[in-house]
Amino acid sequence: MKPLRRLTARGREETHRVATPLELFFDLCFVVAIAQAGVQLVHAVAESHAGEGILNYAMLFFAIWWAWMNFTWFASAYDNDDVLYRIVTLVQIAGVLVLAAGVSQAFEDHEFVAVWLGYAIMRCALSSQWLRVAWSTEGPERTMALRYAGGVLLCQVGWLGLLILPEGGRAWLFLVMALLEMCVPVYAEKDHPTSWHPHHIAERYGLFTIIVLGETIAAATVAVKSGIQENDALGELLPIAVGGLLIVFAAWWIYFVVPIHGHLRSNRQSFLWGYGHYFVFASAAAIGAGLEVAVEQAVGEAHLSTLAASAAVTLPTALFLLTVWALHARHFKVGLAQQSVLPVTALLVICCTFLGDLAVLAAGLVSALAVATGTTLTARLAAREARESAARVSDAVV
């Protein structure tokens, strides 16, 4: 390993491109921040402050997700694995840990100093990487890198409003700044797109989805364990545990059933797909928070109704199903029957909200049924195509 080398683009057609140990470590550290946001969302919903809790969760999750996404796409195009690159990446990891430390204060006291500082550390480190690219390249690529570096730093200045504005104006600032952040890549790459690797990007997003779903299982398991130990409520919690497990298993199956890297061929496709994963990751993490809320409500420790506790699970589950369908599942489905499976399942999951104590179990069974239905339809289509292919070959021989 060299201490320092030119930070130039890697090839989009590079073979055997896989996630590096540093990228996996990066993901695991980001999940720490996601877990903290999930814990605070549980507390807010359980105390009947769902509206405020969801807003804070959306804002903080955007900061976590956006920093992760920017690093992921940058690394896909420019990871040269020299010593300086590794050190700057570790600085970004330190930034997300600072952000994670400030999550509870942001939720409870609306104090965003630690969150802003952690985000600033991550973003300044990323800007330094883009400046390295500008130093190592020339022409349109250098202009693109400078646009990225400048855009990231200017947006970071804009986020200072979270520390200055009154609470009533922060939601509007978040909306404006989130839109500006998402415009930076579009503007920066309008003349020269980065050479991100489709298979590598698909793998990185898939791995992060697995990690988030794993965090969901871990959070729900701890909640069920505590409920059983402290309240001896196995009968009340068993349907939630089974239903939650079925939901997470189905979410994994549905996400990975299609080879999405073949669809990522242009910047237009990649921007929509990459940005849309905000809802995939946020809803997947929120499922775990919802399961915790359902457990607390079942043992009498939450100040909300059974309907509200059920909605905390079914609504993010439905959002996950719809988003995965919209982003990539629909591109691989043939015919009305296959296209309808996930949207109909999302509607049925929402209807499960009104089934009282069995809502989570019913939502899990519906999700599992969707997997079985989709698998059956795909198998039937493959068998029909095989028969038609064989018939064509037979006719050609005759």
Looking at the structure, tell me whether residues 124 and 231 fall in a common domain: no
The answer on pLDDT for 139 being more than 60 is yes
Choose the final residue of a domain: 196, 225, 256: 196
Which amino acid, 71?
F
Question: Are 319 and 289 spatial neighbours (Cβ–Cβ below 8 Å)?
Answer: no
The answer on pLDDT for 393 being more than 70 is no
Choose the final residue of a domain: 176, 196, 216: 196
CA 252 vs CA 37, 124, 213, 220: distances in Å:
21, 34, 8, 16
Cβ contacts of residue 377 below 8 Å, gap of 6+?
337, 338, 341
Each residue of 171-222: pLDDT tens digit?
889 999 999 999 999 999 988 888 888 888 889 999 999 999 988 888 888 8
Looking at the structure, tell me whether residues 314 and 179 fall in a common domain: no
Looking at the structure, tell me whether residues 225 and 330 fall in a common domain: yes
Which amino acid, 387?
R
The answer on pLDDT for 116 being more than 90 is yes
**The tokens of 233 are what?**
């409520």
Report the mean per-residue pLDDT for the chain. Answer: 87
Question: Which H or E element spans position 342?
Answer: helix 335-351
Looking at the structure, tell me whether residues 156 and 106 fall in a common domain: yes
Q: Tell me the residue range of the domain where 352 lies.
A: 202-393
Each residue of 29-60: pLDDT tens digit?
888 889 889 888 988 888 888 888 898 899 89
Which range in 145-154, 260-269, 388-397 is most confidently predicted, on average pLDDT?
A: 145-154
Question: Are 244 and 360 spatial neighbours (Cβ–Cβ below 8 Å)?
Answer: yes
Q: Which residue has the tokens 């079914």?
A: 314
Closest CA to 350 of 324, 295, 313, 298: 313
Average pLDDT over residues 148-153: 95
| pLDDT over 90, % of the chain | 47
Distance CA(241)–CA(253), nearest Å, equals: 18
**The tokens of 292 are what?**
């915790």
The answer on pLDDT for 4 being more than 60 is yes
**What is the reported pLDDT for 383?**
66
**The tokens of 34 are what?**
């996601």
Is 6 within a domain?
no
Choose the final residue of a domain: 142, 177, 196: 196
Distance CA(223)–CA(91), nearest Å, equals: 33
Q: Which residue has the tokens 């069995």?
A: 358
Average pLDDT over residues 286-299: 90
Q: Which residue has the tokens 């909605």?
A: 311
Which amino acid, 378?
T
**What is the reported pLDDT for 334?**
67
Each residue of 324-383: pLDDT tens digit?
988 876 766 667 777 888 999 999 999 999 998 899 999 999 999 999 988 887 777 666
CA 46, 48, 54, 59 torsion: positive or negative?
A: negative
pTM above 0.85, yes or no: yes
Is 398 within a domain?
no
CA angle, 321 as apex, 107 and 176 as ends, to 5°? 45
Q: How far is CA 3 from the centre of its chain?
A: 33
**The tokens of 244 are what?**
């939650």
Looking at the structure, tell me whether residues 185 and 213 fall in a common domain: no
**What is the reported pLDDT for 392?**
63
> How many structural domains is the chain composed of?
2
Is 16 within a domain?
no
